[in-house]
Every structure is written in C-alpha cells, then in structure tokens.
Chains A and B, each alone.
Chain A
Amino acid sequence: PGKGRVTGVSGEGGVVPLDPSPSCLDRIPRDRFEELRKACDEEGELRRQDGLRPRAGEEADSSSRHPEAKRRKVATKGKRPRKRAVDELEAQKMRTLMSSMSQEQLDRYEVYRRSAFPKATMKRLIQTVAGSTVSQNTVIAMSGVAKVFVGQVVEEALDVCEKWGETPPLQPKHMREAVRRLRSKGQIPGSKHKKILFF
C-alpha cells in the first residue's frame, strides 16, 4: 500500500557498486538506467579481474564512456575465482537491496549516482588556483573527491539534524555544526594557505 514499489528491477550481471559514479550514467536517458548500470557492472568486473580488491561496502563504479560489450573480448589478466565470488556476493546483496527499495528511494539513489560537479567549471576553478593548466584526470579525481566530501558533510549534518530532533531540509546551523565535528575528526583540512577571495 502507499507508494508503488518498483518491480522487475533486474540486476543480474556484475557488481553494482555503492559509490557514486562520476560520469557513467550522465548521458543516458532515465529509462535506460538499468541497462546502463549493467553495462557499467561489466566494466567494473573487467576492472576487478585485474586484481583491484574493492574496499568493503565502498566499491567504486566504473566511469566508462564506452560500454561496448566488445570490451570483454579484450585480453585481460587471469581471472581470480575468489574475487569473482566476492563480487557476485556483493552483486547479490545489491540486487536484494534494490528490489526492496521504494520508488522514492530509487529516485534518490539514481540522483545520488548521477550527480556530479560540472567538469568545465571544476577545471576552471582548479586552474585558477593552480595558475597553470591541469589534466582531465586531475579534474576527474578532484571532482570525485569533492563529491565524497559533500557526502560526508551532508551525512554528518543529517546526523546533527536528527539528534536535535529536527527534520530536513538541512539548515545552515546543521551544516555549521557538521563542519565543526568533521574538522575535529580531521576530515576537513584547515587552511595552510592564503585564501583566494575573488575570481
């Protein structure tokens, strides 16, 4: 009863990581979200075959821009059965999780995965601060880290909000308290350098 639950959420195939994807899903129409996720999973599986062991619960998505199936025929390093078993287990958990999500949760999850900082703006910002050009990889890395940063602040702020017996939307006071707490945990760097005020 109430909100309709999504049925038919497939999800077989490789791992669906929990980390936000920077770019894989950006250009895909919403109704093809599932298809593309699977393609990304294949990409992710290819990546894992090369020996990268993902952190528990924090597997990264692939940022594939070319999810052709051809990629799998490319020679990769030897497969590691144990890793695939682990990946399959994670995939299973993800399938279970997604199949029990409400529509609202799925909507939010999709936005969670797709949202990203605009590359051009990010590049401009970094280059202004650096006073020199930076590579595209640097922009991607910085964008990814910045997104994790936002997530950490928001999660802490939601925690504060709840502890104070209040509800979203988050207010500035929640943000400020969250920042205060994260700073003491060392998750927000203090300033060692002169701040850039205008640009």
Chain B
Amino acid sequence: MADEEDPTFEEENEEIGGGAEGGQGQRKRLFSKELRRMVYGFGDDQNPYTESVDILEDLVIEFITEMTHRAMAIGRQGRVQVEDIIFLMRKDPAKFARVKDLFTMNEELKRARKAFDEANYDYGS
C-alpha cells in the first residue's frame, strides 16, 4: 500500500539512476548486439562490459541526433541528405573520407548498373 515500494518502479528508478553517460537516461537498447561486435572488432575484449557498451550507444544516438538536426538546418532545409552529411564531416578526416567514399561508391554503382542495364537492353532487341 502506501508503505510498500512497488518493485517495478524501484527497478526503473535504479536503472535511470545508474544509467550511462549523458543526460539521456535509459531507454530500450537499440544497438546492443551489433555494438558489442563492433567494439570487439575495434579492439575491445570479445566480451565487453555492458555498462561501457551502453555508454557508447548513448553517445552514438546523441551523435546521430546532433548530425540529423544539423543536416536539416543546411542544404535543403528540413531534409537530411548525403551531401549535407559530407559537408558536416569536413573537419574530421576519418569520417569525411568514409562518407565521401561511400557516396562516390554509390554513384559509381549506379552508373555501372545503368550501363549494364542499357547493354542488356541493346542485346535484347
């Protein structure tokens, strides 16, 4: 009743209190499985600490949130486009190189597929 602590509520409280870095609090974990693999690939232990992975997830979500907002503010307003992301990364060499490569790769794939389709079309007729 009044004295009784609802155990569910208490659990939630503890989770929020003992949560990860940043003021975001706890939410359902979105990337836990893949993040655990990712940090192993980047050099952490094969069994990383959950608390550390949670911190990373919060960081990633914060990063994506921030970048999405900034992308919407530039270029075509209200839209998130690849060109915007490329521009936003311009001061970070590693990120810039990666996103630019992905973009260029994609353009080339499109060109190749288009040429391939056109070639097929010619043979067909």
Query: A-side interface residues toward B, CB under 8 Å?
Result: 19-20, 22, 46-47, 50, 52, 54-55, 58-60, 62-64, 66, 70-71, 74-76, 108-109, 111-118, 121-122, 125-126, 129-130, 132, 134-135, 137-138, 140-142, 144-155, 157-158, 168-172, 174-176, 179, 186-189, 191-193, 195-199
Nearest A residue (CB) for B79:
A132
Are A197's CB and B112's CB within 8 A? no
Q: Tell whether B63 is near chain A: CB-to-CB under 8 Å.
A: yes
Question: In the complex, A147 Cα to B103 Cα: how many Å?
Answer: 15
Question: In the complex, A120 Cα to B109 Cα: how many Å?
Answer: 22
Residues from chain A with a CB closer than 8 A to the CB of B80 are: 126, 130, 134, 138, 142
Question: Of A22, A74, A130, A141, which contacts B112 at CB under 8 A?
Answer: A74
Nearest A residue (CB) for B69:
A193
**Tally of A-B Cβ pairs under 8 angstroms:** 216
Q: Tell whether B9 is near chain A: CB-to-CB under 8 Å.
A: no
Given contacts A63-B102, A111-B37, contact A168 B64 (CB under 8 A): no
Residues from chain B with a CB closer than 8 A to the CB of A132 are: 78-79
Question: In the complex, A153 Cα to B89 Cα: how many Å?
Answer: 16
Question: In the complex, A199 Cα to B61 Cα: how many Å?
Answer: 11
Are B92's CB and A187's CB within 8 A? yes
How far in angstroms is the closest Cβ of chain B from A3? 14
Interface size bracket, B side: 35 or more
Interface of B is mostly: helix
Query: B-side interface residues toward A, CB under 8 Å?
Result: 20-21, 23-25, 27, 30-31, 34-35, 37-45, 47-49, 51-52, 55-56, 59-70, 72, 78-82, 85-86, 89, 91-95, 97-99, 101-106, 108-109, 112-113, 115-116, 119
Q: A71-B112, A135-B81 are in contact. List 16 more A-B contacts (CB 8 A).
A: A52-B104, A54-B101, A55-B93, A63-B106, A111-B40, A122-B64, A126-B80, A134-B79, A147-B98, A170-B39, A170-B52, A172-B20, A172-B52, A186-B92, A193-B69, A197-B25
Residues from chain B with a CB closer than 8 A to the CB of A144 are: 98-99, 102
Given contacts A60-B98, A149-B95, A154-B43, contact A189 B66 (CB under 8 A): yes
Are A175's CB and B55's CB within 8 A? yes
Are A150's CB and B56's CB within 8 A? yes
Given contacts A125-B30, A141-B85, contact A172 B62 (CB under 8 A): no
Question: In the complex, A50 Cα to B101 Cα: how many Å?
Answer: 12
Are B98's CB and A145's CB within 8 A? yes
Residues from chain B with a CB closer than 8 A to the CB of A115 are: 34, 37-38, 40-41
